[in-house]
Amino acid sequence: MFDQMKNLKNLAGLLGNAGEMRGKMQRMQEELAHITAEADAGAGAVRVVVNGKMQVMNVELDRGMIVALAGEGSDADKQMIEELIVSATNEALRRAQELVRQEMAKLTGGMDLPGLDGLMGGGGSQ
């Protein structure tokens, strides 16, 4: 019950500063493009970088690792590399979403406001 009262007090404070909050939200929307997260898969064979707007910014393939993994270049090898790209991308997106959640927590004073992550580019679970 104490937590609920604390959240209501925080919400009242946020609503009282709605104009200021709107400005902060707009600035954060702009800053999301500059927040980046990266992940790799296949011991570094694939590296993916995404931004806070959940956009893939870069995909790097380590030629030596790909050659070592791909072997003869069969369809199975191609499928494995494609799976590594998917895996690295999903992990980078998960990390970006976490960074966005952390930034949102700073903005809202740690209060969990449902739906805000969707507004900020963190469109839910993968």
| Low-confidence winner among 6-10, 58-62, 64-68, 114-118 (lowest mean pLDDT) | 114-118
> What is the spatial order of strands in the sheet that 46-51 belongs to?
36-41, 46-51, 56-61
What structural domains does the chain harbor? 2-110 (3.30.1310.10)
- Whether 96 and 54 have beta carbons less than 8 Å apart is answered as yes
User: What is the structure's pLDDT at 23?
Assistant: 78
pLDDT tens across 73-93, in order?
677 788 999 999 999 999 999
pLDDT tens across 95-112, in order?
999 999 998 888 777 666
- CA-based angle 5:7:94, to the nearest 5? 150
User: What is the structure's pLDDT at 98?
Assistant: 96
